[in-house]
């Protein structure tokens, strides 16, 4: 027998319930636009809002213009001769100095020299070429810092004098080391056969000579100075 799902009737019911024509592909026939709805001139331009009524507008502030009923102050007179005063002021006035300018060519444009940057204005300043104060101050600070660091370096690397107890303990330690090396040197065989033993004997001999030199140097000098590490 052919297999039939048990959910088949429920699927059919849901399909009939949710059935709709042209649900995914759209209607079979599309209505044509009306010939009266054609594109008109200036139809796509932005439209201004409607004009408000007069009572909705804000009141315009009053202008400071004299009204027709106002009259100027009358009766003020002056005996000054303004024509003569203006003539004397023009006669006594100093002539204006022409502004320096430059022209790029004969029929070219005219430019003021002051704004072009061709005039050496900064050279005429009082403080032109003078070292600024902050640079001199910084140099003095650096010089003082170098002096303090040099003094600290000298104090750090200053020589230290050994006391009598330190000198005595140093001598004892050097002599003890020499005795140990001498004892080890004496225990070596007299006929040195291998090269290794020969080199070891030479090494012990050099160490003993160095210790003897140090002991003699410390014993011959009472005051000994050492440098701080």
Q: Is 210 a member of any domain?
A: yes
In the chain, the number of structural domains is 1
Is residue 27 included in any domain, yes or no?
Answer: no
13-36 exposure pattern, b = at least 16 Cβ within 10 A, e = fewer: eeeeeeeeeeeeeeeeeeeeeeee
Residue 138 lies in a domain: no
Which structural domain, as residue segments, surrounds residue 200? Answer: 160-226
pTM for this structure? 0.32
Q: Which structure tokens are listed for 64?
A: 């400071």
Domain assignment of residue 106, yes or no: no
Establish if 170 belongs to a structural domain: yes
Does residue 147 sit within a domain? no
DSSP 108: S
| Number of Cβ atoms within 10 Å of the Cβ of 211 | 20
Per-residue pLDDT of the chain (229 residues; tens, 9 = 90+): 899 999 999 988 887 876 665 666 666 677 888 888 888 898 889 888 887 776 656 666 677 788 888 888 888 888 889 999 999 999 999 988 888 888 877 777 888 888 877 888 888 888 888 888 999 999 999 999 988 887 787 777 667 777 888 888 888 888 898 898 888 888 776 666 677 888 888 888 898 889 898 888 888 887 777 766 5
Phi/psi at 150 (5° precision): -65, -40
């Amino acid at each position: 027998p052919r297999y039939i799902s048990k959910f088949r009737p429920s699927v059919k019911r849901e399909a009939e319930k949710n059935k709709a024509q042209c649900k995914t592909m759209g209607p079979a026939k599309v209505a044509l636009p009306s010939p009266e709805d054609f594109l008109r001139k200036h139809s796509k331009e932005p439209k201004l809002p409607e004009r408000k009524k007069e009572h909705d507008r804000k009141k315009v502030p009053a202008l400071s213009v004299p009204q027709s009923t106002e009259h100027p102050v009358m009766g003020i007179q002056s005996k000054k001769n303004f024509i003569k005063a203006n003539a004397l002021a023009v006669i006594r006035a100093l002539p204006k100095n022409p502004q320096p300018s430059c022209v790029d060519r004969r029929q070219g444009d005219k430019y003021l020299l002051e704004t072009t940057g061709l005039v050496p204005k900064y050279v005429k300043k009082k403080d032109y070429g003078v070292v600024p104060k902050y640079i001199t101050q910084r140099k003095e600070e650096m010089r003082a810092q170098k002096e303090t660091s040099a003094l600290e370096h000298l104090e750090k690397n200053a020589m230290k004098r050994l006391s009598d107890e330190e000198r005595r303990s140093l001598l004892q330690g050097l002599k003890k080391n020499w005795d140990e090396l001498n004892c080890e040197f004496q225990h070596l065989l007299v006929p040195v056969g291998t090269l290794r033993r020969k080199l070891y004997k030479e090494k012990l001999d050099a160490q003993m000579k160095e210790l003897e030199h140090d002991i003699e140097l410390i014993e011959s000098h009472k005051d000994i100075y050492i440098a701080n590490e």
